[in-house]
Structures are given as C-alpha cells and as structure tokens.
C-alpha cells in the first residue's frame, strides 16, 4: 500500500439534524499512515464527522469513501460489515462488555467477523501481551483500572487489523498519568503504520500524536496544519 493513497475521502459532506447543521460542506482526505487530530469546541461537529467516517451515520449530502469503499452505496448490513472489518473504534468510556473478561472482550471483535473461537482467543492474547496486559486476560472490566480498560479497548479495536483506527476523546475519561499511557500507545501504533483519526480536546494528545491538526467550528473545517509537511499550528 502506498503512503499517498487516501484511506479516507470526504467530499462536500453535510449532515443536517432537524434545523441543526452538524456538518457543513466538509471535504477531507486522510492518507495512509497519517494521524489526524480533529479539535474544536463542544457541539462543533467532531463526533458527527467521526460517525460519518465510521459508517455509523449517513451524510445528508456528499460522499464518504473509506479504504476504497463508497459508504454512500452501502445498505445497513453492508455498513455493519464495513465497520467490523475496516474500522477500529476507541471510546471515551471504553464501551467494554461488563459480563466478559478482558480477553473475551477483545476476541469477540474477531468472532463477529467469523474468526474461529480458538484463533480469535489466540490473537486477543497476543494483543493483550503487546499492550502489557498479558496477566489481565481473565479480569473483568470492573476490576481493571481506567488505563487498563482503555488498553483493552485499543486491543479490541485492533483485533481485525483495521485500515483505520478512530478514537473519540480517548483520554477524556482518564487521569493525566493514564492519559499519558494512552497517548504513548497511540503514538507507537501510528509509528508502526496505523492510520489514526482522533477527536480530542486534549492538547497534549494532539501535540504528541498528530501528524496533522484539523480544527472544526460550527460544522466547518476552519484551519488545518500538516505537521509532516512543516506547517505550523501557532503561526496562523
Ligand atoms: P462535538 O462532537 O463536536 O461536540 P457533535 O458532532 O456531537 O459535536 O454535534 C454537532 C451538532 O449536531 C450539535 O449541535 C449536536 O447537538 C447536533 N447533533 C449531533 N448528533 C445529533 C443527533 N443524533 N440528533 C440531533 N442533533 C444532533
Ligand atoms: Mg463529541
């Protein structure tokens, strides 16, 4: 896969809820290997943007293409399949299943795309190892620390080797020390080639992980800085 290849292409995407225009004619391309951080005030449309890319919601107008798949053309079943195979999602409040131990939470993502149980467990075990949680596989979410829960959430998101890892405020619900662990984990993943799209209020997360910053206000992209191309954020 060439680096210049676009993993995400939003073309004139608008999303209207009733009389609220959550996204207003947004175009954005994300190349393979980039780490894009979307920033902006509460209510500016950041989560809506992420949900369009994840295929969780549909644009009112415009097109969304992810990893070569035009989401506009997919029905509900096609979108569900797309999400499970192409997208890994990390959430602010982890969204782990409380009734399943850590290893099973991770393995489930594989089971949902048809990976046999033993194989899914084996890969889940490897991922937990890599994230420093090999000893926590049998632990239920309730006994895990915030940082451990978020690492389980990241392992789950990586289970199916997604083309794109999405994270909506991944450090929003953890203390700053744990936030540092999440930041360094995302940074490592991007350095290994994982394409990232992050929504965050966390300046440290953006400063340390992002290769490109995108600022959203009132549903529009008002500013971007491609740090890899030497553009600076503060100069404008
Ligand atoms: P952010 O993530 O930047 O805080 P959102 O994308 O969640 O912003 O929301 C953008 C705007 O769209 C807000 O005004 C919000 O109230 C509205 N909105 C988002 N989702 C919905 C929805 N499902 N139904 C109605 N309005 C929504
Ligand atoms: Mg949001």
Which CATH number characterizes residue 93's domain? Answer: 3.40.50.300
Tell whether 104 is covered by a domain. Answer: no
> In this structure, is residue 224 part of a structural domain?
yes
Q: What is residue 235's predicted lDDT score, i.e. its pLDDT?
A: 45
Q: How many whole angstroms from 213 Cα to the centroid of ligand 2?
A: 16
C-alpha 12/C-alpha 141 separation (Å) is 40
Strands 164-168 and 196-199: parallel
Distance CA 51, CA 154 (A): 18
122 in a structural domain: no
Examine residue 225 and state whether it is found in any structural domain, yes or no.
Answer: yes
Structure tokens, 53: 């890319």
CB-based burial of residue 58 (10 Å sphere; 0-12 exposed, 13-18 middle, 19+ buried)? middle
pLDDT for res 236: 45
Residue pLDDT tens, the chain, 236 long: 555 679 999 999 999 999 999 999 999 999 999 999 999 999 999 999 999 999 999 999 999 999 999 999 899 999 999 999 999 999 988 999 999 999 999 999 999 999 999 999 999 999 999 999 999 999 999 999 999 999 999 999 999 999 999 999 999 988 888 898 889 999 999 999 999 999 998 888 998 899 999 999 999 999 999 988 888 876 44
Ligand 1 lined by 67 (C-beta under 6 Å) = no
Distances (CA, A) of 69 to 9, 60, 203: 10, 18, 32
E strand segments, 85-176:
87-90, 164-168
Ligand 1 binding pocket mutation candidate from 15, 18, 45, 200 (most atoms within 8 A of CB): 45
Whether 25 and 1 have beta carbons less than 8 Å apart is answered as no
Cα–Cα dist 203/39, whole Å: 9
**Assigned domain for 108 exists:** no
Ligand 1 centroid–CA 51 distance in Å is: 11
156 assigned to some structural domain:
no
Integer Cα distance of 108 and 98 in angstroms: 13
In a domain? residue 141: no
Tokens of 154: 């990241």
> Domain tally for the chain?
1
Print the domain residue range for 57: 6-97+162-229
d(CA 163, CA 192) in angstroms, rounded, equals 13
With a 6 A CB cut-off, is 22 part of the ligand 1 pocket? yes
pLDDT at 93: 86
Residue 174 has a pLDDT of 87
Does 76 map to a domain? yes
Which residue is it, tokens 């000893």?
135
Q: Cβ(204)–Cβ(174) under 8 Å?
A: no
Tell me which residue has its CA closest to atom 7 in ligand 1.
Answer: 47
């Amino acid at each position: 896969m060439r680096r210049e290849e676009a993993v995400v292409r939003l073309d004139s995407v608008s999303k209207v809820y009733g009389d609220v225009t959550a996204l207003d004619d947004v175009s954005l391309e994300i190349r393979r290997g980039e780490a894009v951080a979307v920033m902006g005030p509460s209510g500016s449309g950041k989560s809506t943007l992420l949900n369009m890319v994840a295929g969780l919601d549909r644009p009112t107008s415009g097109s969304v293409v992810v990893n070569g798949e035009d989401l506009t053309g997919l029905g509900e079943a096609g979108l569900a399949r797309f999400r499970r195979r192409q997208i890994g999602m990390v959430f602010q409040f982890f969204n782990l299943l409380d009734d399943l131990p850590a290893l099973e939470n991770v393995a489930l993502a594989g089971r949902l795309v048809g990976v046999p149980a033993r194989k899914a467990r084996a890969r889940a075990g490897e991922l937990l190892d890599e994230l420093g949680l090999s000893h926590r596989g049998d632990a239920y979410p309730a006994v895990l620390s915030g940082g451990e829960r978020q690492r389980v959430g990241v392992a789950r998101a990586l289970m199916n080797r997604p083309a794109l890892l999405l994270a909506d405020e991944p450090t929003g619900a953890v203390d700053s020390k744990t936030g540092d662990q999440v930041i360094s984990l995302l940074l490592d993943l991007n350095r290994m080639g994982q394409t990232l799209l992050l929504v965050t209020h966390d300046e440290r997360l953006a400063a340390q992980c992002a290769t490109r910053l995108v600022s959203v206000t009132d549903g529009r992209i008002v500013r971007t800085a491609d740090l890899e191309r030497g553009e600076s954020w503060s100069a404008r």
